[in-house]
Amino acid sequence: MSPEEVIVKGKKIKLRDIDAVPYLFTEAVFAEVFPPEKAPVIFLDFDGTLSPIVNHPEDAALAEGMKKILERCASRYTIAIISGRDMDDLKSRVNINEIIYAGSHGFRISGPGGLAMEHKDSEKILPELDRIEKKLNRKFSAGPEGMQIERKRYAIAIHYRNAGEGSREEIKTGINEILKDHSGVKTGSGKMIFEIRPNIDWHKGKALEWIFEKLYPGDNPGLLPVYIGDDVTDEDAFKAIVPEGRGIIVGSHDQPTAASFRLKDIEEVKLMLKKLYER
């Protein structure tokens, strides 16, 4: 197996540099990517996909016009948003009752018709995250300036977008020193962020599979799972739906991707959703 291939649930998945992934609107035929005989089941990330990336995570909001097109699509298709944000925070920022919300990378899920799930092992990690949060606040009480520690229910995000250019390694080293004494967590990274999460085999891809199987058990050849996201944490979801589904990356990140197509920006996300609604 080459370095550009991974095995997921017995499937061999080819990874590519993002530059080699075709653009949906200039290098593909929309009707072939989304054949009219298949109904899309649409999963989306939030930050960088539905909301522009902002300097402070608490300032994030849906892009202009995005709520209207999401409401329209939700009237025709199943829509789920899977985000690293807490579920309640996610729901408050989108505020559409017909949508499924999966927060904390899918540790908590809520949707129409009483759909609900909270990972059975997640409660075990809360005391450990509390201890880590206190240590982080002490460790970085004097900076670096611009760094932000964001406690979520099942994760801790350390943002360094507004910190000095050379602070990334200092922050990473400090985090690793603290985590030497905490085996119940694991680290991940994204766009200008480090994240500390429960060391549990659960991620956006598994959340996507749980939602899909809960709503559509058995064989469903008439459905087309679609996942749209912009960050490294979305790769688990891209891998979960190939080759049957469509993984679509927005913009780029710095690792090989399992996405099938790409969009330039959030405006093209809106265009894609609009075309799916109107077809």
| Catalytic residue IDs | 45
Give which of 92, 94, 117, 115 is closest to 105, Cα–Cα.
Answer: 117
What tokens were used for 232? 């490294």
CA 30 to chain centre: 24
- Strand 246-250 with 100-103, pairing: unpaired
Residue 212 Cα to chain centre, angstroms: 16
| Chain centroid offset of residue 224 CA | 19
With b for 16 or more beta-carbon neighbours within 10 A and e for fewer, the 69-92 pattern comes to: bbbebbeebbbbbbbbbbbebbbe
CA dist 279 and 192 (Å) reads: 37
* Residue type for position 30: F
**Alpha-carbon distances of 228 from 15, 31, 152, 174, rounded to whole Å:** 16, 17, 23, 33
For 12, residues 6+ apart whose C-beta sits below 8 A from its C-beta are 1, 5, 6
The residue assigned the tokens 């996610």 is 90
